């Protein structure tokens, strides 16, 4: 990742021709890898469709089966889809990110990842590139779940700003899911990592107020959900469907996303470095 490499490389070897190669910057390399990730949606729809359909099915199924949950005294909305739509979005976005981990496990197993690692791009691009792809997938998922939700009765309670917070929360979850998935892919280098990334994300997302608000639930889950940062992220994404968008319901989610992203990104970067060991 040294900057002065191009000038020094010409000094190497007596036969060296002048290099036509410039410094590979983070952004173009990331876009190149991100484009590959997105293009494969179209190439391999059987891998993408379930990850698009499952959050939709989940949102519809939860809001239908737990239809009466909104009648519990103190429930913040009277539309069950308003409560469960953001949960479906977070689920779908998380798996959009984790899907990158799965692809990477396959690339490592096939050897294609060696080819990528041998290029002089900044190491960080190996992480940020597929993250761009995951964010693009997440955009599709959020939009699709929202539109289907609208059809079956979801309503924004504070206008477009509430949709914005949903997108922010969803994209944040997609990013941290990608970092987490990549880190485990680098650590395990086989499908064991894939099982662990899915399971852990599932647990993290559901040990929250996923099904009912903190004020309504009783028992052990309350204590867990209260301290789980994913509860904050859900609150961030949900507020536009439960009432007014407020800074009080926003900042906790933003901090949670930033903190988890920082930790998982660091974990991914250090795990990537260990691929050389």
Partner 1 sequence: MTTIVAPGRDVDFKPSIGAQTWEMSKRAIIALARQPALIIPSIVFPLFFLALGSSSFARAIDLPGFPAVNSYLDFGVAGAIMQGVLFGSITGATALATDIENGFFDRLIASPVARPSIIVGRLAGAMAFGATQTVFFLIVLLPFGLDVDGGLIGALMLTVSGTLIALCVGALMSMMALRTGSSEAVQGAFPLLFILLFFSSAFFPRQTMSGIYKDLAGYNPVSYIIEGMRDLVIEGVSAWAVVRAVVIPAALAVLTVLLAMRSLNNRIARG
Partner 2 sequence: MLKGMPPSAPIVTDGLQRYFGSGDDLVKAVDGVDLEVKSGEVFGFLGPNGAGKSTTVRMLTTLLRPTGGSAAVAGYDIVDQPNQVRRNIGVALQDAAIDPLMTGAELLQLQAVLYGLPRSQHQAKASELLERVGLTAAADRRVGTYSGGMRRRLDLALSLIHEPSVLFLDEPTTGLDPLSRMNLWEEIRRLNNDGTTVLLTTQYLEEADQLAERIAIIDQGVIVREGEPEALKAGVGCPTLFVSVGPDEVDAATQVLGRFGDLRPSNEGTLGVGLLQGPGEVSNVVRRLDEAGVAVSNLELHEPSLDDVFAEATGYRLEGAEESPDGAATAPHEMSDE
| Residues in touch with partner 1 (CB under 8 A) | 50, 53-54, 57, 61-62, 64-69, 71-73, 195, 199, 203, 206-207, 210-212, 216-222
The alpha carbon torsion through 211, 214, 220, 221 (nearest 10 deg) reads: 40
Cα angle 206, 207, 211; round to 5: 55
Give the contact letters, 30-69, x = binds to partner 2 (CB under 8 A), - = no: -xxx-xx--xx--xx-------------------------
Nearer to partner 1, 49 or 262 (CB): 49
Interacting partner of 116 out of partner 1, partner 2, none (Cβ under 5 to 8 A depending on kind): partner 2
Please, what is the minimum distance in Å from the beta carbon of residue 153 to partner 1? Answer: 9
Longest dimension (CA), the chain: 81
What is the 8-class DSSP label of residue 35? H
CB 180 within 8 A of CB 264: yes
Q: Which of 50, 64, 120, 153 binds partner 2 (CB under 8 A)?
A: 120
Closest to 94 (Cα-Cα) out of 51, 148, 30: 51
Distance from CA of residue 173 to its chain's centroid?
Answer: 4
Interacting partner of 226 out of partner 2, partner 1, none (Cβ under 5 to 8 A depending on kind): none
Please, what is the minimum distance in Å from the beta carbon of residue 39 to partner 2? Answer: 7
Residue with tokens 């990331």: 30
Burial class (CB in 10 A: 0-12, 13-18, 19+), 13: exposed
Please, what is the minimum distance in Å from the beta carbon of residue 209 to partner 1? Answer: 8
Please, what is the minimum distance in Å from the beta carbon of residue 73 to partner 1? Answer: 8
Q: Which of 22, 160, 227, 248 binds partner 2 (CB under 8 A)?
A: 22
Q: Which of 66, 107, 229, 267 binds partner 2 (CB under 8 A)?
A: 107
Non-local (6+) Cβ contacts of 203 within 8 A are: none
> CB neighbours (10 Å) of residue 128?
21
Interacting partner of 150 out of partner 1, partner 2, none (Cβ under 5 to 8 A depending on kind): none
How far apart (Å, rounded) are the C-alpha atoms in residues 107 and 94? Answer: 20
Residues at the contact surface with partner 2, assessed by CB under 8 A: 1-2, 5-6, 8-9, 11-17, 19-25, 28-29, 31-33, 35-36, 39-40, 43-44, 107, 110-112, 114-122, 125, 276-277
């Amino acid at each position: 990742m040294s900057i002065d490499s191009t000038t020094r490389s010409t000094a190497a070897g007596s036969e060296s021709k002048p290099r036509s190669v410039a410094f590979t910057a983070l952004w173009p390399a990331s876009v190149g890898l991100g484009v590959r990730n997105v293009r494969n949606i179209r190439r391999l729809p059987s891998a993408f469709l379930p990850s698009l359909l499952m959050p939709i099915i989940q949102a519809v199924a939860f809001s239908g089966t737990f239809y009466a949950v909104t009648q519990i005294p103190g429930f913040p909305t009277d539309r069950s889809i308003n409560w469960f739509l953001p949960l479906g979005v977070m689920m779908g976005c998380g798996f959009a990110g984790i899907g990158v981990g799965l692809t990477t496990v396959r690339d490592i197993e096939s050897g294609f990842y060696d080819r990528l690692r041998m290029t002089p791009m900044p190491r960080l691009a190996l992480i940020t590139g597929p993250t761009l792809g995951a964010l693009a997938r997440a955009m599709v998922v959020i939009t699709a779940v929202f539109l289907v939700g609208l059809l079956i009765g979801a309503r924004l309670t504070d206008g477009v700003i509430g949709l914005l917070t949903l997108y922010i929360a969803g994209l944040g979850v997609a990013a941290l899911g990608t970092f987490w998935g990549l880190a485990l892919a680098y650590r395990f280098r086989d499908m064991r990592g894939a099982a662990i990334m899915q399971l852990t994300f599932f647990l993290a997302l559901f040990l929250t107020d996923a099904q009912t608000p903190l004020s309504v639930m009783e028992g052990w889950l309350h204590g867990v959900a209260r301290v789980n940062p994913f509860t904050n992220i859900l609150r961030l994404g949900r507020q536009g469907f439960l009432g007014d968008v407020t800074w009080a319901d926003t900042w906790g989610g933003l901090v949670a996303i930033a903190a988890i992203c920082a930790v998982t990104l660091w974990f991914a970067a250090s795990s990537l470095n260990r691929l050389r060991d």
